[in-house]
Structure 1
């Protein structure tokens, strides 16, 4: 074989093995202009992506579809306004600052809040959250507007409430707690301010900012809540479970019956050495059954504390009481309260008139 023919065969070897094609492809993609054109642009900014998938970038409703009526409240992350849509339906619109949420490391917190409330809002005693979305700088959360105001306001206006009224209020809250716990949610901020009353006087739990997904029977250790309503195990900075919500229910029950909170700010503190103070006794006007219930709810040991709806239904305070009627909203605490208030006002008027008549004589 000649030298030329050997050279021709040798030059064919790279072609046969595919090396030349590989070189051509490599040279093509090594060009800077081609390299730049191969880059895929990211469709959303980072400050939007971190709130996905809970907060959609686009929603079938927007803030422009609501007309602001008044500002209801202002919080750490933004404000809540009463708004109406084009059909005149009332809502509560919460607008939150993304920058503030990121600065406070509360991204997961606000994402859990909307998911828990939207998934559990079909319960009759939990405020629904039908819409939520985001813009470049803000988060928008739309909830059902509750016109009756806070339970705190009712409590301030009337003071100690009759036991028949307290039964309905506590039963409605307990039904909501039981539902949340069975759904794998711990609420952690049950207080008079976070319970609203609808137009018919039924309880509506709001503000799921401290709520958390927690499988029933599991524990968590985040230190959060409102001091006067916090269970001793949280104040001692120990792991805790859903039982802490039932302690808070006990604080509310005591307050409604007695007309004052059981613990002052000065009596509670968050420390591993914290020693719970003795629970004050209810007044003489409260029944032994009411005192028994408070003792069961405000028990320091979470293992002994009353912490299920089943056990609550079995205490003497709720003897012959229908939780089914409460669940179906057949009875209203406000209607009973109006009747009681009217009777009390009439009795006071008669007593005053008798006193005046006696003086005149």
Structure 2
């Protein structure tokens, strides 16, 4: 099934239902889709690798590498990448409230300036997103309102890493690429540039939010270049916003990269500390996983290894990272229940009786030792020594299960005593070996109890075989 097969003017993607076209750029088109398995909305970016050169294919796949490597709630999250025909389809997080360009144009039409609180909320989130990118040695190279997306709860995300570049060993980029109005002076002049170019673009976005126009405008591309390289722009009118915000905007638009503040310095400044409380807390659905993938499947905090695009595009899916959906996370299996406590080898407990001692591998605290009176009247009126049960101790070996041995009358009486609680004082002895009627009755009751338990623990008799002859109905078999 080809991705370009039209269905009501929209392409088809396996396991996804296409809703509408969100936009198009130099590297492909972006669609709003719904995943059939979890009914969640996502954005699919479709790039035609068949019509690209090998270098352009590497740039298109580079966005997948960077999206997987950057894990931050202010950067658009990666979910999946697959090849459909000759087209690379990248499933990303969907921003339901569009991009910042729409809100700037809407405010310009209605002539309603942004509140300073809203500007600080957007600016500080952009600084956090750029800080996450720069910490991984990645420069975006195309920061502009169209690549800044708004999600629920005023959460902001940086997207479109198609032309972002990963710097190694603090090298400088030299490629002249980006949107003209938001390109830094060093990019226009062909000088090596680094993370400071993103900060100049951030200043241009901040200037546009405050004035509803770009800082440098020209009639021709040459005029625009001269204005940007010369640093000629109209300052933000004083009184419209606080002096700290205006000063920060002017410093970001400096022609010298060393004079521009970094994201960390902006977030740590005194002016920004007054507005940190307005930053939204990302909900659980917008918190990306902390894991990152490498080519061998392990996780680490560095960038994903470079994805080598083979000449044969059919081999590309083998090099793409695995999918990452919150709804596909398998919950860890519940631990097995602890084994039941075993019965001591010295004392066997009848069914329903309370064990005098237990063996627990989980380290449970055993119950305290129970001591009995000095003597207990036996079944025949003979005084027997008291029984003292020490939990967790049963001789020289650990307790084992031995339910087949029949308990003795003394053991049965000991178990009965443990179950019934403290015993009354022992019966007094009568002269000449005679016992009172109450003692005789108690002895008879004890003997009956012992007999009952002996009968209860006796093995069941073997079932009597059925002696009646079995009548097997005759069945005629025909062999043909």
- TM-based fold match above 0.5: yes
User: Quick one: distance in 1 between partners of 2:93 and 2:41?
Assistant: 7
Report the counterpart of residue 290 of structure 1 in structure 2. 245
Report the counterpart of residue 476 of structure 2 in structure 1. none
* Partner SS state of residue 124, structure 1: coil
Q: For the Cα contact (< 8 Å) 2:186–2:229, is it kept in 1?
A: no
User: Quick one: distance in 2 between partners of 1:299 and 1:169?
Assistant: 21
Of the candidates 196, 200, 203, which is equivalent to residue 243 of structure 1? 196
User: Quick one: distance in 1 between partners of 2:51 and 2:27?
Assistant: 6
Pairwise CA distance, 1:95? 1.8
Pairwise CA distance, 1:176? 0.4
Q: For the Cα contact (< 8 Å) 2:216–2:228, is it kept in 1?
A: no
Aligned length, in residue pairs? 265
User: Quick one: distance in 1 between partners of 2:158 and 2:23?
Assistant: 16
Q: Within 5 Å, which residues of 2 pair with 1:314-333?
A: 314-315=268-269, 317-322=271-276, 326=279, 328-329=281-282
Question: Deviation per CA, 1:6-44, whole angstroms, max 9, x where unpaired?
Answer: xxxxxxxxxxxxxxxxxxxxxxxxxxxxxxxxxxxxxxx
Report the counterpart of residue 141 of structure 2 in structure 1. 188
Q: TM-score, normalised by structure 1?
A: 0.68
Q: For the Cα contact (< 8 Å) 2:21–2:32, is it kept in 1?
A: yes
Pairwise CA distance, 1:63? 2.8
User: Quick one: distance in 2 between partners of 1:267 and 1:295?
Assistant: 24
Could you tell me which runs of 5 or more consecutive residues in structure 1 were left unpaired when the two chains were aligned: 1-61, 331-361
User: Quick one: distance in 2 between partners of 1:78 and 1:322?
Assistant: 37
Of the candidates 67, 74, 77, which is equivalent to residue 128 of structure 1? 77
Q: For the Cα contact (< 8 Å) 2:216–2:227, is it kept in 1?
A: no
Pairwise CA distance, 1:316? 5.0
Q: Within 5 Å, which residues of 2 pair with 1:82-161?
A: 82-86=32-36, 87-102=38-53, 105-120=55-70, 122-159=71-108, 160-161=113-114
User: Quick one: distance in 2 between partners of 1:267 and 1:216?
Assistant: 37
* Partner SS state of residue 63, structure 2: helix
* Partner SS state of residue 32, structure 2: strand
Could you tell me which runs of 5 or more consecutive residues in structure 2 were left unpaired when the two chains were aligned: 1-11, 284-480
* Partner SS state of residue 152, structure 1: helix
User: Quick one: distance in 1 between partners of 2:61 and 2:254?
Assistant: 33
Pairwise CA distance, 1:291? 1.8
Report the counterpart of residue 312 of structure 1 in structure 2. 266
Pairwise CA distance, 1:303? 1.4
Matched, 1:170 2:123: yes
Q: For the Cα contact (< 8 Å) 1:186–1:212, is it kept in 2?
A: yes
* Partner SS state of residue 64, structure 2: helix
Pairwise CA distance, 1:200? 2.1
Q: For the Cα contact (< 8 Å) 2:184–2:197, is it kept in 1?
A: yes
* Partner SS state of residue 131, structure 1: strand
Moved more, 170-179 or 76-85: 76-85
Q: Within 5 Å, which residues of 2 pair with 1:190-339?
A: 190-215=143-168, 217-266=170-219, 269=222, 275-284=229-238, 285-306=240-261, 308-315=262-269, 317-322=271-276, 326=279, 328-329=281-282
Moved more, 194-203 or 271-280: 271-280
User: Quick one: distance in 2 between partners of 1:271 and 1:193?
Assistant: 21
Question: Deviation per CA, 1:262-281, whole angstroms, max 9, x where unpaired?
Answer: 11143764879974242311
Q: For the Cα contact (< 8 Å) 1:185–1:215, is it kept in 2?
A: no
Question: Deviation per CA, 1:300-323, whole angstroms, max 9, x where unpaired?
Answer: 0111221x2232134454242327
Pairwise CA distance, 1:78? 2.9
User: Quick one: distance in 2 between partners of 1:182 and 1:232?
Assistant: 23
* Partner SS state of residue 81, structure 1: strand
User: Quick one: distance in 2 between partners of 1:275 and 1:232?
Assistant: 5
* Partner SS state of residue 149, structure 1: coil
Q: For the Cα contact (< 8 Å) 2:15–2:35, is it kept in 1?
A: yes
* Partner SS state of residue 225, structure 1: coil
User: Quick one: distance in 2 between partners of 1:74 and 1:65?
Assistant: 22
Pairwise CA distance, 1:232? 0.4
User: Quick one: distance in 2 between partners of 1:140 and 1:319?
Assistant: 41
Report the counterpart of residue 81 of structure 1 in structure 2. 31
* Partner SS state of residue 236, structure 2: coil
* Partner SS state of residue 70, structure 1: strand
User: Quick one: distance in 2 between partners of 1:184 and 1:88?
Assistant: 36
Q: Give the helix-richer structure, 1 or 2.
A: 1
Please report the RMSD computed on the Cα atoms of aligned residues, expressed in angstroms.
2.4
